[in-house]
Each structure stands twice: as structure tokens, then as C-alpha cells.
Amino acid sequence: MTTEAQAEFAQHVRRYLYVFYALLFGTLATVGASYIPFGNHAINIAVALVIACGKASLVGGFFMHLISERKLIYGLLAFTACFFLGLMFLTVSAFADLPRMTVTH
């Protein structure tokens, strides 16, 4: 790696530190938000999952370099996302005939 390339890479390193601070903040925000009475517990769940998605995006985007990855990896992840959404679709579909009161203990 040339000196110029190393200097440019050092900029990336600084970015990793900012992401790290954001993740620390996100963790504290998740815990803090869980103690806020929003009136409906579903809102607490939604807030926690939105923050978790934000944190996951930071880890995936910057630490795993997905922000500047090759098309092949994006294609692979698109396939994975389709199958994952299919799995969740099946789960949500199952709510319609979920045997109620099956989990009592």
C-alpha cells in the first residue's frame, strides 16, 4: 500500500470509530427507550426493533463493508432477504390459525 493509500485508509479508520460511538449510543438508547411508558407495549417493541435495525445497518454497512461491496454479494444478500421474508411471511400467515392457549406454562 502506498503512503497516499495509507493516508486514505486512515480516514476509513476514523469512520469506524464514529460508527463505534453510534453503536454505543444506540445500545443505551435501546435500554432507555424500553423504560419509557409509550402507553402501548407494541410501541416499545417497535422502537426497540427500529433501533436494532439501525445498529445492524451500521455494523453491516461499515464494519462488514456492505456500503461498498461487489454486485455479487448484493445479489447473494438479496436472495437471502427474499427467503428470510418468505420465512417471516409463513410465520405471520400462521397467526390466522394459531392454536390459542397452547402455551400455558
Partner 1 sequence: MDIPYTIEARPDTGLYNAKVGIWIFLASEVMLFGALFSSYILLRVGAPEGYWPRGWLNVPLGTLNTLVLITSSITTVMAWASCKLNQFGRFKVYHACTLLLALVFLCIKSYEYHDKFMHYEIVLKDGRIADGHIVENDPKADHVVIAGRYVQDRLDLYDLEERKAPRHHEEISIPRSQIEKMERYGPWHNTYLALYFTLTGLHALHVIGGAIVIGFLWGPGSKLWETDPERFTNRVEISGLFWHFVDLVWIFLFPVLYLI
Following DSSP, what letter does each residue of 29-98 receive, concatenated? Answer: HHHHHHTS--SSHHHHHHHHHHHHHHHHHHIIIIIS-GGG--HHHHHHHHHHHHHHHHHHHHHHHHGGG-
Binding mask 10-49 vs partner 1 (x if CB under 8 A, - otherwise)? Answer: x-xx--xx-xx--xx--xx-xx--x------x--xx--xx
The residue behind cell 500500500 is 1
Are 49 and 57 in contact by the 8 Å Cβ rule? The answer is no
59 binds partner 1 (CB under 8 A): yes
Counting contacts by CB under 8 A, is residue 63 touching partner 1? yes
CB 49, min distance to partner 1, A: 7
Task: Match 443505551 to its residue by C-alpha cell.
Answer: 28
> Residue 59 is which amino acid?
V
Pick one of 4, 39, 68, 98: the residue that binds partner 1 (CB under 8 A). Answer: 98
Chain residues that interact with partner 1, rule: CB under 8 A: 1, 6, 9-10, 12-13, 16-17, 19-20, 23-24, 27-28, 30-31, 34, 41, 44-45, 48-49, 51-52, 55-56, 59-60, 63-64, 70-73, 76-77, 79-80, 83-84, 87-88, 90-91, 94-95, 98-105
